[in-house]
């Protein structure tokens, strides 16, 4: 849908119609963080799953426990392949009649197709709702209050998803050992709005994707469009924190999730990189992260943060030393990077497995 925000003066959008900024990315970050601004989310797509079996069906095929999800409760799910690698990700909100999924635009068509293929005899329908838009804001300010008022209603409930990243979800697990996890302050909301609802918000301060991404990166929050590649396990980006229920029943990929968490270590780990800003250059997704001359990982997201300066999320080899100074290679530039550990190298192996006494192979004594 054509967004009402796109017609505002000073707004700069990319070729996909995603508003990048409205004239001042750093000021927009501060306004968004303070709850004064809304952020149009043209890079997010709404999928409606309806039908009597919707919650038990989604529970059976995804990483999250959804069978008893209450109306108005927010969570998120992952779809994994048989080897436990991330294929799809979505925010989840139920209104008592439909379950609403919000997915990154590049993932939405594939997720909707896969869900449709998996219906079999379940009493469910799957529909991409291109007639709806997504608008975000931080909870605790005028923007969030207006967002709730503008949101589409599901019965008596405003369709507003609250990002669960603020805390460890029931059945989840956090690998990060930070005393104060930055996600605790990431009180992000996304509302489903129609044309009229979106138009009612255009008098508020507007933040673009650059501002929203900077706050997300600073909160160590993974997303499908950035942190997921063909090898991604949810453990590597600490996604067990909010998107995986470790105690639920069987689903595709569960065996790998349990095995890595209980007995092994994820082969890669997410880290926040504090970048040298002297060259005023930001790396791009996929840029190599080097330890001396050896590639030990890749950048997944990068931004200029209004307080932290230039930062990036990077997926690194588990064996990359946690105290090593790194370099990010961007075109001809070499950007010095200091690590802040998110997922430690020894993450996993949480089960207390008793060690068996090794049986002796000595020959019996001669008589």
Residue 192 within a domain = yes
Residue 172 within a domain = yes
122, 161: one domain? yes
Q: How far apart are CA 121 and CA 169, in angstroms?
A: 31
Domain count along the chain: 2
226, 88: one domain? yes
202, 286: one domain? no
Torsion angles phi and psi, residue 108, rounded to 5: -65, -45
**All residues at 6 or more sequence positions from 263 whose CB lies less than 8 Å from its CB, including other chains:** 348, 349, 351, 353
Residue 367 within a domain = no
232, 288: one domain? no
Task: Please report, in tens digits, the pLDDT of each residue of the chain (367 residues total).
Answer: 458 999 999 999 999 999 999 999 999 999 999 999 999 999 999 999 999 999 999 999 999 999 999 999 999 999 999 999 999 999 999 999 999 999 999 999 999 999 999 999 999 999 999 999 999 999 999 999 999 999 999 999 999 999 999 999 999 999 999 999 999 999 999 999 999 999 999 999 999 999 999 999 999 999 999 999 999 999 999 999 999 999 998 999 999 999 999 999 999 999 999 999 988 899 999 999 999 999 999 999 999 999 999 999 999 999 999 999 999 999 999 999 999 999 999 999 987 645 444 444 444 444 4
Residue 347 within a domain = no
Last residue of a domain, one of 217, 237, 257: 237
Residue 250 within a domain = no
Residue 360 within a domain = no
275, 216: one domain? no
282, 170: one domain? no
The torsion angle over the Cα atoms of residues 174, 180, 183 and 184, rounded to 10 degrees, is 110
Q: Are 339 and 272 in contact (CB under 8 A)?
A: yes
Residue 253 within a domain = no
Residue 247 within a domain = no
| DSSP one-letter string for 186-214 | --EEEEEE-HHHHHTTTTSEE--HHHHHH
CATH of the domain at 126: 3.30.1360.120
Residue-range definition of the domain harbouring residue 284: 268-341
């Amino acid at each position: 849908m054509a967004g009402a925000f796109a017609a505002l003066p000073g707004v700069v959008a990319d070729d996909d119609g995603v508003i990048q900024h409205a004239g001042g990315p750093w000021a927009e970050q501060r306004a968004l963080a303070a709850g004064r601004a809304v952020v149009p989310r043209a890079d997010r797509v709404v999928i409606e799953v309806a039908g009597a079996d919707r919650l038990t069906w989604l529970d059976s095929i995804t990483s999250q426990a959804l069978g008893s999800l209450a109306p108005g409760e927010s969570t998120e799910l992952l779809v994994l392949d048989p080897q436990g690698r991330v294929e799809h990700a979505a925010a989840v909100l139920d209104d008592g009649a439909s379950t609403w999924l919000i997915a990154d635009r590049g993932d939405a068509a594939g997720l909707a197709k896969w869900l449709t293929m998996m219906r079999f005899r379940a009493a469910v329908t799957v529909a991409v709702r291109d007639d709806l838009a997504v608008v975000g804001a931080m909870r605790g300010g005028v923007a969030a209050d207006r967002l709730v008022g503008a949101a589409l209603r599901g019965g008596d409930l405003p369709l507003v998803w609250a990002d669960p990243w603020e805390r460890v979800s029931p059945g989840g697990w956090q690998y990060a050992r930070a005393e104060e996890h930055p996600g605790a302050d990431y009180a992000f909301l996304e509302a489903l709005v129609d044309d009229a609802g979106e138009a009612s918000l255009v008098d508020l301060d507007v933040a673009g994707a650059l501002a929203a991404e900077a706050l997300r990166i600073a909160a160590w929050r993974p997303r499908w469009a950035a942190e997921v590649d063909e090898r991604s396990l949810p453990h590597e980006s600490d996604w067990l924190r909010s998107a995986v229920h470790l105690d639920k029943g069987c689903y595709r990929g569960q065996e790998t999730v349990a095995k890595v968490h209980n007995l092994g270590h994820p082969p890669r780990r997410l880290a926040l990189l504090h970048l040298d800003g002297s060259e005023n250059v930001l790396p791009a997704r996929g840029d190599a992260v080097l330890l001396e001359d050896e590639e030990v990982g890749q950048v997944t997201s990068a931004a200029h943060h209004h307080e932290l300066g230039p930062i990036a999320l990077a997926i690194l080899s588990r064996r990359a030393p946690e105290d090593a100074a790194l370099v990010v290679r961007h075109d001809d530039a070499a950007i010095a990077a200091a690590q802040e550990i998110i997922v430690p190298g020894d993450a996993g192996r949480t089960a207390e497995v008793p060690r068996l006494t090794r049986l002796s192979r000595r020959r019996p004594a001669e008589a």
